[in-house]
Structure formats: C-alpha cells, structure tokens
Amino acid sequence: MRFVTDENIGLEVVEFLRMAGHDVISIIEDSPAASDVQVIKIALREKRILITSDTDLSELVYHQGFPHSGIILLRLRNETNVNKIKVL
C-alpha cells in the first residue's frame, strides 16, 4: 500500500511499514513543518493513505470536506511507536 505518515508518526513506524513492503512518504523526512493543508495535499496528489494522530487534520477532512485518498487516524491511549506498530 501507499502511505504518507504525518510528523506525529515516528520514524520507527515508518521503517516498520517499509520493511513490510509498503511505499511510505514520511513528512518528518521529506517536508518537516508542513502545514496540515500541505500534508493533505501531498497525500491526495500522490494518491496515498494518510496516517496521523492529529485530530486537526481529521477535522479538515471530515468537517470541512477536504478531498483525500484515505486517512488512518490513530487515537491511542498508548502513543509509543511500539504500540502504533502493533495497532497498524
């Protein structure tokens, strides 16, 4: 699958996804400090599913109607990379 990981998704998670054979663009690596709108536009332009823990991003999509190619919103009590990997 093709993903974009937001800045709040750690590099350990990015590496896990890549090792599992997924094509991943990491905002941390490629576009640090990108705005939420820029992140959504990157994901849409590249036809990638966005993985984020940022509720502001989901607000833009679900309440303001920004187009997207899919979003995985991780709202976890345990925000460690190990737990994110387990959930994904």
Whole-angstrom Cα distance, residue 45 to residue 9?
Answer: 20
**Considering only CA atoms, which of 62, 79, 82 is closest in space to residue 70?**
62
Mean pLDDT for the stretch of residues 39-61: 91
Q: Tell me what pLDDT residue 21 has.
A: 98
Whole-angstrom Cα distance, residue 13 to residue 18?
Answer: 9
> What does pTM read for this prediction?
0.92
Q: Tell me what pLDDT residue 2 has.
A: 98
Angle 6-57-14 (CA atoms, 0-180°, nearest 5)? 15
**Single-letter amino acid, residue 5:** T
